[in-house]
Amino acid sequence: MSKTFDAVGVGLNATDTLLIVPRFPSYSGKEPFVEEILSVGGQVASAIVTCQKLGLRTKYIGTVGDDFRGKLQMKSLTESGVDVSDVQIREGCPNQSAYIIIDQSTGERTVLWRRQDCLRLEPDEINEEQIACARLLHIDGHDTPAVAKAARIAREHGVPVTVDVDTIYHGFDQVLPYVDYLIASTNFPVQWTNERDPFKALELIQNEYGMRVAAMTLGAHGSLALEDGKFHYAPAFVVNCVDTTGAGDVFHGGFCYGVLEGWPLGRILEFSNAMAALNCKALGARGGVRSRAEAEELMAHGERRTHPEFHTRVNGK
């Protein structure tokens, strides 16, 4: 089958309400908010928009409610140039939403979210043609039976699979055997393996499931990945952080781009870190998605924040 799309994503989208506060309130306390902003996001949707803005041909597959928030999400995807022909519009169902409290003093965010069952994507809504037309498939851990089917189809057609996972989902062990690039949150490898050492946890996951790369994001300290028995550590970039919302999603978009460009893993991690850092300089999950040239400028001249332990264990000095 001809590869109509470079990257196809199957997974979540969300429409967020951002509440900007001078500082996060103490427990049971009060704090006035400075501004309220309606903004689009979602793990896979934002990663795919990032790919599109980097010049790739993209398609998003997922479910969207028919309320105002859903319409706003569809408008954003369409205007970004993402193909939405396989999006399922759910009548009488509200779109996934989140209230995100952003601490102005640090840029860190706290997320309160809801996704109703009427948005669940079912396996029979995924077919071979939707997946085999891609050069790469990007998924998350929600709607596990559906993403498992998508990943299995991808494997059958030689399409590499990247996954963004931040928590343990029931049945996710049915997905991991079809994953080529696992890029997990900081906590997932430890939670999945019950091994507190993140290096050993990544090794255990890779040995059990055989993915090409087992990696984890480290927030303000960058990213760590294991490939062919060798660890790669990429420090984070120091920027004036306005909002960390969506940084991980944009990291994944950058990672997908690097895989499709055929870059070595070290360069992919550096580029993904740069894309994530630049996104933190603006409000919203997709507010700071920048170009390849801007990311490479940051890579060439930006200040880095290195985690001493990770750096020493990977580089030996």
Does 3.40.1190.20 match the CATH number of domain 5-25+34-315? yes
pLDDT of residue 2: 78
pLDDT of residue 316: 82
Span 174-179, average pLDDT: 97
Distance of CA 232 to the CA centre of its chain: 19
What phi-psi label fits residue 309: left (phi over 0), alpha (psi between -120 and 50 degrees) or beta? alpha
Q: Which tens digits make up the pLDDT trace of 183-228?
A: 999 999 999 999 999 999 999 999 999 999 999 999 999 999 999 9
Residue bearing tokens 């700071």: 288
d(CA 148, CA 145): 5
Q: Which tens digits make up the pLDDT trace of 227-250?
A: 999 999 999 999 999 999 999 999
d(CA 95, CA 228): 41
Q: Which tens digits make up the pLDDT trace of 23-58?
A: 999 999 999 999 999 999 999 999 999 999 999 999
d(CA 71, CA 95): 9
- Whole-structure pTM value: 0.96
CA atoms within 13 A on the CB side of 93: 16
Q: Which tens digits make up the pLDDT trace of 268-292?
A: 999 999 999 999 999 999 999 999 9
